[in-house]
């Protein structure tokens, strides 16, 4: 198995959003920059489409059917921000499938031993972290990182299920869908760093989960203008110690790059170097714990900043 793998698929370019910040050019910019960087040491792989059952382990079947039907009928708006086209359902299945395939790579190992340490990336669109169980929202059709986390927790014929999964979301917008899907689940530690106030208006520091999951949701809202010092500090001095205490079997990052100072949709000031430092901090944590680390692409709408930060 390669030590680092990056999944992508041409269907991401077929999700036609028209004049929209979440556009096919995002993927083209990322892939172009990665090719120039010789894929930054990652082995590129073409992602499979997710089986419908994997998507429906997180989303209501009626939601999956609704998205498919609208795409089959030619596409259209799903809400004020979220649109789909005839190619969007296939793109969404590959976005989920890439995240799932990445998890399978990261968790390969013996039934008695831990997952082999490795790095993975799932570089697709549409993004996912705003999608809730019953509907699409915020440019997102299906919640790719949540589908991947649920899959990781589920045993397969080739590996045991993870006991615990950590999801760190550093997209500038709160990952409300992931927050809600695992709100009462003590086996998923969800940590979100996000600008507030900002869309979707959720993610208050007082939201710490519910029921058996109290304490496994950690929301870290920051004001506009927050840059490298704030984001790095929260990753290194809050998220990393939380992960060390939680001891997950897998670490997933909802990797949005829209907190970048060049991004047009938010007001934070993270730089390329800030993202590199955040990535290094979570990679060091995964290596310390001996677990796999996977990055799932979310937002980022300044094409140059997005491509450089992914690399």
Residues labelled as active-site residues: 130
What is the dihedral sign for C-alpha 89, 168, 249, 179?
negative
Please state at what angle helix 25-36 crosses helix 303-310, rounded to 10 degrees.
40
Largest alpha-carbon pair distance within the chain? 51
Question: Which among 99, 128, 141 has a CA at the least distance from the CA of 7?
Answer: 99
What are the residue ranges of helices labelled H in the chain?
25-36, 52-56, 61-72, 88-107, 144-153, 176-181, 228-234, 240-246, 272-289, 303-310
CA 130/CA 107 separation, integer angstroms: 26
CA 169/CA 255 separation, integer angstroms: 6
Q: What is the 3-state secondary structure (H, E, C) of 224-280?
A: CCCEHHHHHHHHHHHHHHHHHHHCCCEEEEEECCCCECCCCCCCCEECHHHHHHHHH
User: Which residues contact residue 286 at a Cβ distance below 8 angstroms, ignoring those fewer than 6 apart?
Assistant: 117, 119, 251, 292, 293
CA 310/CA 290 separation, integer angstroms: 23
């Amino acid at each position: 198995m390669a030590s680092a793998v990056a999944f992508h698929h041409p269907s991401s370019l077929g999700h036609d959003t028209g004049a929209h910040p979440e556009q096919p050019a995002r993927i083209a910019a990322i892939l172009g920059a990665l090719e120039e960087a010789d894929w930054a040491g990652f082995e590129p792989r073409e992602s499979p489409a997710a089986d419908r059952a994997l998507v429906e382990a997180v989303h209501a079947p009626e939601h999956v059917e609704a998205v498919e039907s609208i795409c089959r009928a030619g596409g259209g708006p799903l809400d004020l921000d979220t649109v789909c086209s005839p190619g969007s359902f296939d793109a969404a299945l590959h976005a989920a499938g890439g995240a799932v395939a990445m998890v399978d790579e990261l968790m390969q190992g013996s039934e008695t031993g831990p997952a082999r340490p490795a790095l993975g990336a799932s570089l697709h669109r549409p993004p996912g972290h705003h999608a809730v169980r019953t509907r699409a929202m915020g440019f997102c059709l299906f919640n790719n990182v949540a589908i991947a986390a649920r899959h990781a927790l589920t045993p397969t014929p080739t590996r045991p299920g993870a006991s615990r999964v950590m999801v760190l979301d550093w997209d500038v917008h709160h990952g409300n869908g992931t927050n809600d899907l695992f709100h009462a689940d003590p086996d998923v530690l969800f940590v979100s760093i996000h600008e507030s106030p900002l869309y979707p208006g959720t993610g208050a520091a007082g939201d710490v989960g519910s029921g058996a999951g109290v304490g496994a949701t950690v929301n870290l809202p920051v004001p506009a203008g927050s840059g490298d010092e704030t984001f790095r500090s929260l990753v290194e001095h809050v998220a990393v110690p939380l992960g060390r205490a939680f001891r997950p079997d897998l670490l997933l990052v909802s990797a949005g790059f829209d907190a970048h100072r060049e991004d047009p949709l938010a007001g934070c000031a993270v730089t390329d170097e800030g993202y590199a430092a955040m990535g290094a901090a979570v990679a060091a944590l995964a290596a310390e714990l001996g677990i796999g680390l996977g990055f799932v692409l979310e937002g980022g709408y300044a094409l140059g900043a997005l491509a450089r930060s992914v690399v």
